[in-house]
Copies of this chain bind each other. A is one copy, B any other.
Amino acid sequence: MANLYPFVLEMKTMLSNLDRWLVTAAEHAKSKKTEPDALVVGRLALDQYPLVKQVQSACDTAKFTASRLTGKEAPKHPDDEKTYEEVRARVGKVVSYLETFTEKDFEGAESRKVALPWIPGGNKAALGLDYLVSFAQPNFFFHVTHAYAILRHNGVPLGKMDYIGALPPLLDM
């Protein structure tokens, strides 16, 4: 295969899907005579993140996957969203950021050393491929799926095709 670019493109697709779930969620809230902002604090367990933080975490994981694999500086997003519209705007900012990358940016990314500054000691790193496969992807899908699950738990009418967004490009057998 060429390089790791398709895996980051899929994160952009999933964030675009997430934005559509949020639109459906607002319609659902309005149909229940409730403000869409009420969904922002929804959560599945008291000691789990609410929707807003699931979305922020999905956004940050996608953003840092792209920037770390390509050796670029990521834009700063201060996690200050409080309303439904602010949550959607955060998603939009990261989708736009991911659109600035090309396949060429990811040349050699699989063997690039990716810094993991939050690990005690502060000087640890992982190979780009290991970082993507064993850390970035599981975390990204964790948060994006929790956002979906919080909405479903609140009765938002979504189904598996809303989650996946679209089938892969189809060929004849």
**Residue on B with the closest CB to A115?**
B173
Is B142 touching A173 in the complex (CB atoms < 8 A)?
A: no
User: At the interface, yes or no: A3 with Cβ under 8 Å from chain B?
Assistant: yes
Asked if B167 contacts A119 (CB within 8 A), the reply is: yes
B10 adjacent to A169 (CB under 8 Å):
no
Which of A72-80, A97-105, A126-134 forms contacts with chain B?
A126-134
A binding-site residues for B, Cβ under 8 Å: 1, 3-4, 6-7, 9-10, 13-14, 44-45, 48, 110, 113, 115-116, 119, 123-127, 129-131, 133-135, 137-139, 141-142, 145-146, 148-149, 152-153, 155, 160, 163-164, 166-173
Sampled A-B contacts (22; CB under 8 Å): A1-B3, A1-B110, A6-B129, A9-B133, A10-B138, A13-B134, A14-B138, A44-B152, A45-B153, A48-B152, A116-B170, A124-B171, A125-B173, A127-B171, A134-B166, A134-B168, A135-B167, A138-B141, A141-B145, A142-B160, A142-B163, A146-B149
